[in-house]
Amino acid sequence: MKKQILIASCSVSMLLCGCVDLMQEPRSFLTPETMVYDQKTIEIMANGLYNDLWFENYAYNCRSQILGVGADDIVTGTMTKRYTFVDQLNVTNAQHDADVELMWQNMYAVIRSANSMLRDVVKSEDVSDEVKNPYLGEAHFMRAFAYFNLVRYFGPVPAILDPDCNEDMYGNASGSIIRASVADIYDKIIVPDLIAAETMLPERARTNDNSRASRAAAKACLTDVYLTMAGWPLKRGHDYYVLARDKAKEVIDHTDTKTYTLVQPYENLWKEANKSDDTEHIFALNHDSNNGTASNYGRSYYATEESSSAWSDYLADSCFYERYPNDTRKSFNFIANFKVEGTPRPLNYKRTSMRSPAINKYRDYTPLDANGKVIMTAQTNGITPIYRYADILLMYAEAQNKADGSPNALAYQCLNDIRKRAANGGTYTEAANLSPEDFDKAVFDERGWEFFAEFKRWFHLVRTEKVLEANMYNPRVKAAIEKNGIAAKSKEAYYWMPLPIQEVQSCGFEQNPR
């Protein structure tokens, strides 16, 4: 007889064992007095991994956005948070600490759930390997993805593979856990997990959409990981560009994966009706405001001039907007002239309080009333995009050029295919005969335009060590950087987020340099 007890999540800090309280139970698995791991139970556990990624209070959605405001594409719309890039140096900032704390909890919730699956489902004799291996592939993928986020946000972090949290990866007992090195997290957890996921996941996600991990998702993430390992902070260089090049090409060649293509036109990628489509979206967190996994694209993404109920939490950086090519993406991604509540004439963003355009990309996810008017609510539907086929094309182009010393024909095709989709008349000419340096810059710029406000830009700037360079385009941010002497600090001081205060105090971890 099977008794299933759904464990509700607690509000305690989700760190790890002992001082790091990973004894909080994840919401994704069932704890029985006598558990039978049949396919239904295993599927419930696997589905819970994605709920853990969302966690609570839009963790892997708005928290990812706020922690990326140090990049050059978006800004926060309130004056107290206008320059989060500078604010993140202040570890006493209570609001910012809440953001990093929730991201930390969020990722360790995924890890705890994945650890439980990888222990308990593996040894189950209730289902065959053929049935359970794809679910185990999801657990490997999600654990790798969680650690990939942690190590990019925080640098060295506790490495826990034990679902009971009795020890860390090095055998240190609860209460004596240490922060694992960045290299060890990549070499001993992230890369092995993704390689395992590649072999276990199906060619197409089990849901036949983008809401669950597939083999291509594992390959996309592994490509991203190799590119990151080639850059800052590990700087392993050439050999890892080769690995990234070859892994991306497997998806382009649809070697043991489904075939992906670029969706035409670009704006169709961001329709609520298409949100689960896996033509281009390889993997995305799907949101539903009716089942407790809402996104945060409503009030937070509307400017206060548009509605008295709007919050202006996230707006486009005006300098990024002004540098953006005049292509079809620009007219879709941004709102430069606002329809002001109660006023017939539009208001240009330069005359608004924050002097920033609004982000239009996710507006189709906001609900409408019976008259077609926007319902100004915080909770919306849609997706948090994680990997698209466009990622694969541009990651291949970057990696191939750096691995081989010059761009080949396929690298040019990858770049030009992205440009062609975005082209507005004569916006772009075919990229050709570029030096390796100019090609790399073209790909770098294209990533910024293509993935505007998609939670990627900060990570891209960090691994390429271009955070300061990119932020210097905005004179007000440049002034703040110079005033705070950021350029003189170590990269760890402004590339890594501060550890959550509670973890520093409880575990005795040394705070990241500021």
Domain-by-domain residue ranges, the chain? 1-200+495-514, 209-288+382-452, 299-380
Residue whose entry in the numeric block shows the structure tokens 């707006």: 315
In tens, the pLDDT along 41-94 reads 999 999 999 999 887 666 688 888 888 888 999 988 764 454 455 555 455 555
In tens, the pLDDT along 408-466 reads 999 999 999 999 999 987 777 889 999 999 999 999 999 999 999 999 999 999 999 99
Q: What are phi and psi of 260, to 5 degrees?
A: -115, 150
pLDDT at 428: 77
364, 295 contact by CB (below 8 A): no
The amino acid present at 316, given as its one-letter code, is A
The rounded mean pLDDT for the chain is 88
282, 388 contact by CB (below 8 A): yes
pLDDT at 425: 76
Q: Say if 1-200+495-514 and 209-288+382-452 have the same CATH topology.
A: yes
Residue closest to 311 by CA, chosen among 145, 485, 78, 118 = 78
**Correct CATH for 209-288+382-452 of 2.60.40.1120, 1.25.40.900, 1.10.10.60, 3.40.50.2300:** 1.25.40.900
The amino acid present at 140, given as its one-letter code, is H
| Rounded mean pLDDT, 332-361 | 91
Dihedral of the CA atoms 261, 265, 268, 270 (nearest 10)? 90
180, 170 contact by CB (below 8 A): yes
Domain 1-200+495-514 classification at class level: mainly alpha
Question: ∠ CA(44), CA(49), CA(52), 5° rounding?
Answer: 120
pLDDT of 480 strictly over 90: no
Among 123-132, 151-160, 302-311, 371-380, name the most confident range. 151-160
The secondary structure of residue 500, as a DSSP letter, is P
- Among 9-13, 74-78, 146-150, 288-292, the range scoring the smallest mean pLDDT is 9-13
Strands 157-158 and 334-335: unpaired
Report how far residue 305's alpha carbon sits from residue 347's, in angstroms, rounded to the nearest whole number: 8
Report how far residue 257's alpha carbon sits from residue 249's, in angstroms, rounded to the nearest whole number: 11
Report how far residue 333's alpha carbon sits from residue 265's, in angstroms, rounded to the nearest whole number: 13
